[in-house]
Amino acid sequence: MAEGAQKEYWRWPEGTWVNPDIDWQKGTIITAGVDVGSVSSQGVVVVDGELYSFGNTRTGFDSPDSARKAMDRALAETDLTLGNIDYCIGTGYGRVNVPMAQRTITEIACHARGANFMYGPEVRTVMDMGGQDCKAINCDDKGKVLNFMMNDKCAAGTGRGMEVFADLIRVPVWEIGPRSFQIEKEPPTISSTCVVFAKSEVMGLLEQGVPENDIIAAYCAAMAHRIMGLLNHLGVHEKFVITGGIAKNEGVVKRLEEALGIKTAEQVWYKAEYQDCPFDTQIAGAVGAALFAEAMVSKGKVKSVRKA
Amino acid sequence: MIVVGIDVGGKNAHIVVLKDGNIVAKGEAATGIQKAEAVETLYDEMLNKTGFNREDVTRVVATGSAGKRVAFADGVIADAVAGARGVNRLIPSARTVIDVGAEEGSAIKVSPEGKVLDFAVNEKCAAGTGTFVETMARALEITVEEMATISLQSNSSIPMNAQCAVFGESEVVSLIHQKIEKQDIAKAVHDAVAGRIASVARIIGLEADVVVIGGMAKNSGFIDSLTRETAMDVIVPDDPDFIGALGAAESAALGV
């Protein structure tokens, strides 16, 4: 493509991590979760219910390939192979296309379960802000879903919407959050709900000479406002956490907190022994899937498919 | 008496000059972001073409989503009023007017006198607008005109799951990857827009005759989809994108 050399402002950093404290060969049950979302895919490996490794990557055009890529990333820095895994569960938008998975579970259940593990049992509301949809989930102390609401019809308030905006304003997506606070005062929000219309509104503002950071702030505020509608409908309860890619954007998160009058929980592992592990809000779904797999194998509900 | 109607929409401006009730000139221009400047230029061009001065014009009425940005207008009327009046002049039997432009779609219930009885509008979202079609044409790497032509050659019916234009774009890309024929994708896109606008129209109820105006009315693929979606004959007047401006000019003649 002729535009190949053009900078890709939407491109966020991909990640990999392996737990140095775990020797998988000493583990009894090794399970995996693969979350193939519309924008990103994650693979997570759990050894006896403890996080062993994960990989986070961008989803390509082909779901099975994206699932393999995510799992490859999770396994890349380990000597573990797919054959060593007892059971694997697929989740996310592309969950039916996860070749290494024996079963699928919806991403709503997985995000609630994953958030429970990552942020602790006090979590009651999980807002999963994914690439192409957002879901507000209320759950109990076991991470079991009590109720949820989702928007999957409209890009406003989704990661994809933020990527489109980043490309338009030519600012890398991870700089959007910090730059949205480099302003003199909070500007009026973008009035268009629709991302496509917001695009023309943003062009107009740029033309008028409105500072870039003000426009970034206005867009973050518009997105926070959009998400708030969903949360108010469902009811938000503390501990309130955000999972998914937008959780990494403080420009949206802080404005959402302000509008709701509720703080989100700090992005740190509930279990102190993980303090050196990077906290990646995008892996919650895959973590949940891997934990469900672990529970099923350990309770004897499913048979291990382990080959080696 | 010389009057002028100008319709400034999301993307284009249209202007109609009436002299004693007859159309003596019309013109259009892309407005871009500097809408106020673009319409001034368009107005001056029209006057040059006709040989009139601004002083010769009795009244200018503006309409459209950016109608308020027309500094030289003596009055501004709502899109629905302009659409209803413009259609009534050409097709008095019209009872439902569907107006689909670049950034909004509306349905208007019209009286035999051309008055607005009821209307429903989608202006919040690009689904069901010309922008949706343009976005998909870009993903297909063809023009909107080519898309209209090829969609008429499609015999298959594949549904589009996405309502949102942003998601629709990814869906079109994945359909291309699945080696679905472009003509079938084009039809799916027009069906999706027709479905959205028909659901807006159903809010007020579809009553014959149904007349379609606005830039999207020039898209034969969309008109075909809308005919199937509504299971009604839909009438497209000549120059359907000028009807709003015509209605505004008619209003100017009436002294509105």
ipTM of model: 0.79
Instruction: Assess whether A195 and A154 both reside in one domain.
Output: yes
* Environment class of B51 (CB within 10 Å of its CB; exposed 0-12, middle 13-18, buried 19+): exposed
Find which of B11, B37, B125, B169 to mutate to test the A interface (most A CBs within 10 Å of its CB): B125
CA-to-CA distance for B114 and A87, rounded, in angstroms?
68
A156: left (phi over 0), alpha (psi -120 to 50) or beta: beta
The reply to whether A78 falls in a domain is yes
Tell me the one-letter amino acid at B82: A
**Banded model confidence at residue B105, pLDDT cuts 50, 70, 90:** very high
Nearest to A238 by CA among A123, A127, A109, A121: A123
End-to-end CA distance of chain A: 44
The reply to whether A127 falls in a domain is no
- Domain coordinates in residue numbering, chain B: 1-91+239-256, 93-236
Instruction: Assess whether A53 and A113 both reside in one domain.
Output: yes
Note whether A64 and A99 are within 8 A (CB).
yes
**Would the CB atoms of A160 and B131 count as touching at under 8 Å?**
no
Instruction: Assess whether A251 and A286 both reside in one domain.
Output: no
Instruction: Assess whether A281 and A256 both reside in one domain.
Output: no
Instruction: Assess whether A182 and A230 both reside in one domain.
Output: yes
**pLDDT per residue as tens digits for the range B62-82:** 999 899 999 999 999 999 999
CA-to-CA distance for B158 and B124, rounded, in angstroms?
26
Six-digit token string for B190: 């027009």
Instruction: Assess whether A16 and A109 both reside in one domain.
Output: yes
Distance, C-alpha A213 to centroid of its chain: 25
**Would the CB atoms of B33 and A160 count as touching at under 8 Å?**
no
B179 interface with A at CB cutoff 8 Å: no
Q: Quick one: pLDDT at residue A2? A: 40
- Return phi, psi of residue B67, to 5°: -60, -35
Chain A hits for B69, Cβ within 8 Å? none
Quote the number of domains for chain A. 2
**pLDDT per residue as tens digits for the range B156-209:** 999 998 889 999 998 998 899 889 999 999 999 999 999 999 999 999 999 999
**Would the CB atoms of B166 and A153 count as touching at under 8 Å?**
no
Instruction: Assess whether A246 and A175 both reside in one domain.
Output: yes
- Return phi, psi of residue A37, to 5°: -90, 180
Parallel, antiparallel or unpaired: strands B75-76 and B57-63: parallel
At a CB cut-off of 8 Å and minimum separation 6, what does A1 contact?
none
Q: Quick one: pLDDT at residue A6? A: 58
User: What is the number of other CB atoms lying within 10 angstroms of the CB of residue A160?
Assistant: 24
Instruction: Assess whether A111 and A33 both reside in one domain.
Output: yes
A154 interface with B at CB cutoff 8 Å: yes
The reply to whether A17 falls in a domain is yes
A199 interface with B at CB cutoff 8 Å: no
Six-digit token string for A33: 């979760």
Instruction: For domain B1-91+239-256, give the CATH number.
Output: 3.30.420.40
Facing residues of B26 across strands? Answer: B16
At a CB cut-off of 8 Å and minimum separation 6, what does B111 contact?
B117
Same fold, B1-91+239-256 and B93-236: yes
A191 interface with B at CB cutoff 8 Å: no
The low-confidence residues of chain A, meaning pLDDT below 50, are: 1-5
Find the residue in A nearest to B173 (Cα).
Answer: A61
Give the residue numbers spanning the domain of A103.
Answer: 2-121+276-298
Instruction: Assess whether A230 and A283 both reside in one domain.
Output: no
A215 interface with B at CB cutoff 8 Å: no
A197 interface with B at CB cutoff 8 Å: yes
**pLDDT per residue as tens digits for the range B214-227:** 999 999 999 999 99
Instruction: For domain B93-236, give the CATH number.
Output: 3.30.420.40
Q: Quick one: pLDDT at residue B24? A: 95
Reduce the DSSP state of residue A32 to 3 states and report it.
strand
The reply to whether A139 falls in a domain is no
Q: Of A154, A200, A203, which has the smallest distance from its Cβ to B164's Cβ?
A: A154
Note whether A284 and A118 are within 8 A (CB).
yes
Chain B hits for A62, Cβ within 8 Å? 177
**pLDDT per residue as tens digits for the range B138-154:** 999 999 999 999 999 99
Q: Which helix (H) or strand (E) holds A103?
A: strand A103-104
Domain CATH number, residue A31: 3.30.420.40
Helices B182-204, B144-151: crossing angle, 10 deg rounding: 90
Single pTM value for the model:
0.82
